[in-house]
Structure 1
Amino acid sequence: MNVTSGPKTTGGVMLGITGGIAAGKSQVAEYLCRHGNFTGIDVDLLGRQLLESGQKGYLAIKDRFGSCFFRDDRSLDRVRLRRAIFTDSALRIEINRLLHPLIREAMHLRATAAFRAGAEIVLVEVPLLYEAGWQQDFKLVIVVQVANKLALKRLQQRDGVSEDEALAALTARMTSDERVSRADLIIDNSGDWQTTCRQLDLLIPRLKEMCKG
């Protein structure tokens, strides 16, 4: 994946956190923000906001695909869109082309606002960080890693999808090995939560020290 240039953030230090589907990224990010006093940004949440009726992402999808992914009441059928993205690689590329620049812009605006409000470190959760080529936006990238079999089981339980649907979602992303090979820091979330927390407690002071340089 090529590294892409994009908007810049004015202020402190941005850290990225990523990982495969059902790796536990959100839980890890929330712990780091709470115990490390970091400000958190979830780009999935930004994306959902952009897909609300009348917002930039909603309009981009409507302009490109017409009524294909919309209900009779003109609301976006997110479940239908998500399933289509996981099963159609060409569609996934096109949707990402439309939405990623909008999400990236929103991310930088949110981070800049946080720095102006006094934040020193902003931790941004980006599921497709490497796939989108955004790694240069961050001083450091943390990868949350789990075994593929465990991720598959968690995804089926979390989203109530079949094994085939879960496999399609997992294989639509970068492989775990490739993601780990690019990481600055790795958290293994394959064990129990207490084991993960011990890793995070050791990581927090290390992150703060690394962000000083």
Structure 2
Amino acid sequence: MIIAVTGSIGSGKSKVARRLAMLMQAEHCDVDHSCREMMDKGGEGWQRVIATWGLRFQADDGSLDRVKLREAIFNEPSIRLELENILHPLVHEHLHDLIGRCKKNGKALVAEIPLLFETGWQDEFDAVVTVSATRSQCVDRVVTRDKVSRDQAIKALDAQMDMDEKIGRSDYVIDNSGSEEKTHLQVEALSLDLLRK
């Protein structure tokens, strides 16, 4: 079974995806991590960023100045869109290859994809799980995790599809607004349901 886990920034989808993969003994893919690897110096994403913006986002050692790029993404929507146009095809190809290998080997896959619906990839999965939390929780978590201002966290959240719309388009929802124990119980129940299928 090929499963996508999505949700707004700060909703807790990473924790849910990793736990679900562990419980199902499935492969786990974090699309954000794949993006970061592609942006490492010499990577295909890095090469395309340099080709597009020259030295604007390059650090002294030639690597990507991720802080400067992140600030530009928050403050200039055109930069975010252009970066997505660079990275999404690369990530989609990587994901497509991984799905093919898992299907060939009869292995389940849990793919963590923040912009699943925004990219239109949802139909490639047997099940879509959205991890939800309150808007204020998402903002607080992003501020704490990424060391950004509340304004930047809100901009990042507003750039994504509304949580209610994601929930309405999903097969399953994990409510991550309560305690960690409550979330774990939901994920355990979900894993049993998916394994039965």
2:180 maps to 1:193: yes
Q: Give the deviation of 1:136 after TM superposition.
A: 1.4
Question: 1:4: which partner in 2?
Answer: none
Contact 2:31–2:112 (CA under 8 A) maintained in structure 1: yes
Which ranges in structure 2 are unaligned for 5 or more consecutive residues? none
Distance 2:97 2:151 in 1: 38
* 1:152 aligned onto 2:144: no
Return the TM-score normalized by structure 2. Answer: 0.94
Distance across 1 between alignment mates of 2:186 and 2:154: 28
Residue 86 of structure 1: CA displacement?
A: 2.1
1:131-154 per-residue CA deviation (whole Å, 9 max, x = no partner) reads 111111211110000000111111
1:110 aligns with 2:92: no
After the TM superposition, which residues 67-106 of structure 1 pair with which residues of structure 2 at under 5 Å, given as runs? 67-106=55-94
**Structure 2 residue identity aligned to 1:24:** G
Using the TM superposition, give the Cα deviation of residue 110 of structure 1 relative to its aligned residue in structure 2, in angstroms.
2.8
Alpha-carbon offset, residue 54 of structure 1: 1.6
Q: What is the CA distance between 1:106 and its match in structure 2?
A: 1.0
Match of 1:10 in 2: none
Asked whether the equivalents of residues 46 and 107 of structure 1 are also in contact (C-alpha less than 8 Å), the reply is no
Q: Give the total of aligned pairs.
A: 197
Distance 1:115 1:135 in 2: 17
- Does 2:81 correspond to 1:56? no
Q: Is the 8 A contact 2:5 2:128 kept in 1?
A: yes
One-letter code of the match for 1:36? M
Instruction: Return the TM-score normalized by structure 1.
Output: 0.88
SS of residue matched to 1:21: coil
Aligned partners of 1:52 and 1:14: how far apart in 2?
28
1:14 maps onto 2:10 in alignment: no
SS of aligned partner of 1:155: helix
How far apart are 1:119 and its partner, in Å? 4.6
**Post-superposition CA distance 1:139-175 (Å, at most 9, x none):** 1110000000111111111122221111111111111
Partner of 1:208: 195
Task: Give the letter for the 2:38 counterpart.
Answer: L
Residues 1:85 and 1:104: Cα distance change in structure 2 (over 3 Å): same
- The amino acid that maps onto 1:68 is R
Give 1 or 2: higher helix fraction.
Answer: 2
Q: Do 2:129 and 2:174's aligned partners in 1 also have CA atoms closer than 8 Å?
A: yes
Residues 180 and 186 in structure 1, CA contact (< 8 A), matched pair in contact too: yes
What's the % identity of the aligned pairs? 37
| 1:29 maps to 2:20 | no
Distance 2:106 2:146 in 1: 34
Mapped partners of 1:151, 1:45: distance in 2: 19
SS at match of 1:143: strand
Worse-matched range after superposition: 136-145 or 106-115: 106-115
Contact 1:38 1:122 in 2 (8 A): yes
Q: Does structure 2 conserve the Cα–Cα contact (< 8 Å) formed by 1:16 and 1:140?
A: yes
CA distance in 1, matches of 2:107, 2:48: 34
Letter in 2 for 1:121: A
Distance (whole Å) between structure 2 residues aligned to residue 89 and residue 160 of structure 1: 20
